[in-house]
Amino acid sequence: MSDERLEKLRRYFENDRFVSHSDIEIAEVGDDYAVTAADVLPCHLNAEGAVQGGMIYTLADFAFAVLANSLHPTTVTQCAHVSYIRAARTARITATARETERAGHNCIVEVIVRDDEGRTVCVCNFNGFVSSKE
């Protein structure tokens, strides 16, 4: 992906105030994938000292949004299936999104969230609604 296209995506998502408030960043976008990341802050932790599930989901949902909207503007989440695998207790977490299917107004994206030691924390499958057929 060109630097210009990446900057355009970053500017577009500056309007996502929840993601900005969560300190999530667009780390990388390719032709068929997107990576979002966040340094784990004290406000991201649950009572057990692990990253709170809502933060993990937000990171994954944002990776989906970045990829889907880079491939098919304008796309929104219709539904998601989330499987939490293990607690995240490292200083950084990342989410990598890859589209697995596209049909009509639907796209299916798998997102894998990993801790900074490469362990899978969560696997999500998103069904997105693409507002226009391309």
Consecutive H or E run containing 55? helix 53-71
Q: What is the CATH number of the domain that holds 79?
A: 3.10.129.10
Q: Note the pLDDT tens digit of each residue in 49-69.
A: 999 999 999 999 999 999 999
Report the predicted TM-score, pTM, of the whole model to 2 decimal places: 0.93
Phi, psi of 87 (to 5 degrees): -70, 145
Query: Domain of 113?
Result: 3-130
Q: What share of the chain is helix, strand, coil (3-state, %, to 5)?
A: 30, 45, 30
What single DSSP character describes residue 131?
S
* Peptide bond preceding 77 in cis form (omega within 30 of 0): no
Q: Give the count of beta carbons closer than 10 Å to the beta carbon of residue 6.
A: 17
Alpha carbon 38 to chain centroid, angstroms: 11
What per-residue confidence (pLDDT) applies to 8? Answer: 86
Residue 4 confidence class, pLDDT cut points 50, 70, 90: confident
pLDDT of 134 over the 60 cut: no
In whole angstroms, give the CA distance from residue 84 to residue 121.
Answer: 6
What per-residue confidence (pLDDT) applies to 5? Answer: 80
Domain count, the chain: 1
